Amino acid sequence: MKLSANLGFLWSELSLPQAIHAAKTAGFDAVECHWPYDTPAETVAQALADTGLKMLGLNTRRGDVAAGENGLSALPGRSADARTAVDEALAYGVAIGARAVHVMAGRASGSAAEEAYIDTLRYAAEQAAGLGMVILIEPLNRHDAPGYFLRTTDQAVAIMDAVGSPALRLMFDCYHVGRTEGDVIHRLRTLLPRIGHVQIASVPDRGAPDHGELNYLAICSELSGMGYAAPIGAEYKPLGPTEATLGWVTSLREL
């Protein structure tokens, strides 16, 4: 099984180019990130070229973080800001050869928020399709992201159906699904045709995927058996130096 290092959490003490090199040294097959915008895209592209790693994806900006914003796309009245964030993320993605952009919904609720979200996602999917990229949406659990608009996989599927674009895919984070919905393997089986990326971390502490409520040997074995061949994203919060938390890698890679 191929593995991707999420550099939003792993080697977060390093610059993004340094973290890319660290992931290569640790044996990861790919990398992904959260918000790389403070680092020039050409610098990231060079690190990727030097290591031979692919950057799988990045997030749109959250907005005014100090004011509590955690995405813009589902905020009524913020369509222009949301589209600007999409354009920025897609342009950065093109510059570094990324495949996907996660469009963050933000803290909102109600029908107006849903309409705003669908409108932004239609725009994003149209732009991404023209670039040969995909748009991802990710349900976030209420413990880590209270008030976030997109909360469950059922809600995500309904949104995807409303948008109606093959360029819109589900980011299935086993950690978030495990905390909110449970029954992770069944949901993976059901949703596999909709999934654009899978991420892992332990439940409930979001540590390395080698303990907790979810058995990732079983989950990843199931994914492999279903023919899922894309890199699985390790998006967990290491307790201590990242290198000291990678004991799980060998067992999953052998699947």
Its pTM stands at: 0.97
Task: Single out the catalytic residue among 32, 114, 222, 235.
Answer: 235
pLDDT tens sequence across 27-67: 999 999 999 999 999 999 999 999 999 999 999 999 999 99
pLDDT tens sequence across 125-147: 999 999 999 999 999 999 999 99
Q: Active-site residue 235, yes or no? A: yes
Q: Which residues contact 140 (CB under 8 A, 6 or more apart)?
A: 148, 150, 151, 173, 176
Cα–Cα distance list, 96 to 8, 18, 179, 248 (Å):
16, 15, 33, 29
pLDDT tens sequence across 172-189: 999 999 999 999 999 999
Task: Single out the catalytic residue among 126, 138, 222, 254.
Answer: 138
Q: Active-site residue 254, yes or no? A: no
* Structure confidence at residue 254 (pLDDT): 87
Going along the chain from its start, the domains and CATH numbers come out as: 3-253 (3.20.20.150)
Structure-token pair, residue 57 = 């994806």
Q: Which residues is 168 bridged to in the sheet?
A: 135
Give me the mean pLDDT over the 154-163 stretch.
Answer: 98
Three-state secondary structure call for residue 36: coil
